[in-house]
């Protein structure tokens, strides 16, 4: 029975999509049907979980599915790495300059565009419920906070630096290397010298 195949697949993989369902010989139209019946729960357009499953990183899963070529950054990356006490009301996502702006229906997304090394440096991949969550490392996140200090506030950037080093989530040498790579060394030098 197709419904059983879909439920078994959702138990095995966590997040399932229409292509996954078709791979096991079931109809993709069963996904919204099962969601309407309360068996599955839609987390974002085209992605479903078992209704009773609450993943640890659900908000990050939603972003990863909605913007697979994006990277979680800035305040959202600070939250992911548990460096900040702030709870952003929107998900911050970096996309590579030249890529189209994705439409995250139902999600409150805020985009920043980066290019070259400023985009590629410091990307970490974390697996959760069958989805790859791309997020910047703590060191890269700190550098980005200074890069976008006019958008998020210099006080947030300074707090991120202090907390990342203080909690041993990032070391000064990594932050300095990425700051040079992203052309932020001159801006960050005085702040890095103050951090013990």
Q: Going edge to edge, which strands form the sheet with 131-136? A: 109-114, 91-96, 71-72, 131-136, 123-128
What residue ranges do the domains of the chain occupy?
A: 2-50, 58-194
Q: Does residue 44 have a pLDDT over 90?
A: no
Q: Does residue 196 have a pLDDT over 70?
A: no
Cβ atoms of 80 and 138 closer than 8 Å: no
Q: List pLDDT tens digits, range 148-167.
A: 999 999 999 999 999 999 99
Question: H helices then E strands: how many in the chain?
Answer: 11, 8
* Least confident among 93-102, 127-136, 147-156, 164-173: 93-102
Please tell me the number of Cα atoms within 13 Å of 145 on its side-chain side: 29
Check if CATH label 1.10.10 holds for domain 2-50: yes
Computed over every residue of the chain, the mean pLDDT equals 90
pLDDT of residue 170: 94
- Percentage of the chain lying above the pLDDT 90 cut: 53
- Strand-pairing partners, residue 44, are 47
H/E/C letters for each residue in 74-85?
HHHHHHHCCCCC
pTM of the full structure: 0.83
| Cα distances (Å, whole numbers) of residue 22 to 2, 6, 148, 171 | 10, 10, 42, 46
């Amino acid at each position: 029975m197709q419904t059983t195949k879909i439920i078994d697949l959702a138990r095995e993989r966590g997040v399932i999509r229409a292509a996954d369902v078709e791979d096991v010989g079931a109809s993709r139209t069963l996904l919204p049907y099962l969601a309407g019946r309360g068996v599955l729960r839609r987390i974002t357009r085209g992605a479903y979980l078992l209704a009773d499953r609450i993943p640890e990183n659900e908000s990050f899963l939603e972003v990863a599915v909605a913007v697979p070529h994006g990277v979680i950054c800035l305040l959202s990356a600070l939250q992911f790495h548990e460096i900040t006490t702030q709870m952003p009301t929107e998900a911050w996502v970096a996309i590579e300059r030249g890529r189209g702006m994705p439409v995250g229906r139902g999600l409150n997304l805020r985009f920043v565009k980066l290019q070259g090394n400023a985009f590629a440096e410091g990307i970490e991949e974390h697996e959760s419920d069958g989805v790859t969550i791309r997020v910047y490392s703590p060191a890269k996140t700190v550098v980005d906070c200074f890069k976008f200090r006019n958008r998020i506030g210099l006080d947030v950037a300074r707090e991120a630096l202090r907390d990342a080093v203080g909690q041993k989530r990032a070391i000064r040498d990594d932050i300095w290397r990425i700051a040079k790579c992203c052309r932020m060394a001159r801006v960050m030098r005085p702040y890095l010298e103050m951090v013990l």
